[in-house]
Amino acid sequence: MKVIETPIKDLLILEPVVHGDDRGYFFESYNAGTFNAATGLEINFVQDNQARSTINVLRGLHYQNAPHAQTKLIRALEGAIWDVVVDLRKDSKTYGRWYGVELSAENKRQFLIPQGFAHGYSVLTDTAEVFYKCDNLYNKESEGGLYYADADLNIDWKIDLNKAIISEKDKVQPTLKEDSSSF
C-alpha cells in the first residue's frame, strides 16, 4: 500500500497494490496488518456505510462531535466523487482549510479522514457508490455540519452548484464562523 501525505497533517490518501491480468484485477481493499504497518496507526473500525448517488449530488459537510467523533476510510466502489474535508481541529495550523481528492472505482484510492474534520462529497459521474469505514458508531445527538457553500471556505466542489442536488438539512448548516464543533 502506498501512503500519500496531504498538506494537512494526519490526512492521508491510500493507494492499494492492484494485481491485474487478462481476467481483471484483485486487491485487498482493507487489511488491518497492512494498514497499521503502512500508516503507523491502529484504528479499530466498527461500522461500514455505503451510499449510492447520481451525478451532481452533493452530500455534506458532516461530522460527529466527541465522544462519538469518527475517523473514516472512504472509497468509491463505482463512478467518481470529489471528496472534501475541512479541518475543524481548533489547535491545528490548518484549522478552517479544506482539501479535496478524486476517489473513483478506476483509481481505487482511499481517503483516511481522522476525527476532527467535516466531510462531504460531490458526484462527478452518472452514478457513484461510496463505501466507508468508521471507527465509532453513528450517534444522532452528536452530528454536526458546515454549510457547503460557505464563502469563507470557498470550496471548489467540481460541479455546478446551480445544478447540485442537496438535502434540506445540508442547505441550512452553519458556516465555519458559526460552527460549534467540539474539536
**Interacting residues of 32 by C-beta distance below 8 A, sequence separation 6+:** none
Q: What pLDDT, on a 0 to 100 scale, did the predictor assign at position 111?
A: 98
Can you tell me whether residue 79 is helix, strand or coil? coil
Half-sphere exposure of 144 (CA within 13 A, CB side): 25
Is 119 noted as a catalytic residue in this protein? no
Domain range list for the chain: 45-171
pLDDT of 177: 96
Based on its alpha-carbon atoms, the radius of gyration of the chain, rounded to whole angstroms, reads 16
Pick from 43, 20, 83: which is nearest to 30 by CA?
A: 43
Where residue 167 falls among pLDDT bands split at 50, 70, 90?
very high
Residue 116 is predicted with a pLDDT of: 97
pLDDT at 142: 96
Stretch 42-60: mean pLDDT: 97
Catalytic residue among 63, 99, 121, 132: 132
User: Which of the following is catalytic: 62, 68, 99, 121?
Assistant: 62
Name the pLDDT band for 120 (thresholds 50, 70, 90): very high
In the annotation, is 19 catalytic? no
Query: 45-171 maps to which CATH number?
Result: 2.60.120.10
Q: What confidence tier does 114 reach under pLDDT thresholds 50, 70, 90?
A: very high
How remote is the C-alpha of 130 from its chain's centroid? 10
Q: Where are the alpha helices (DSSP H) in the chain?
A: 32-39, 168-171
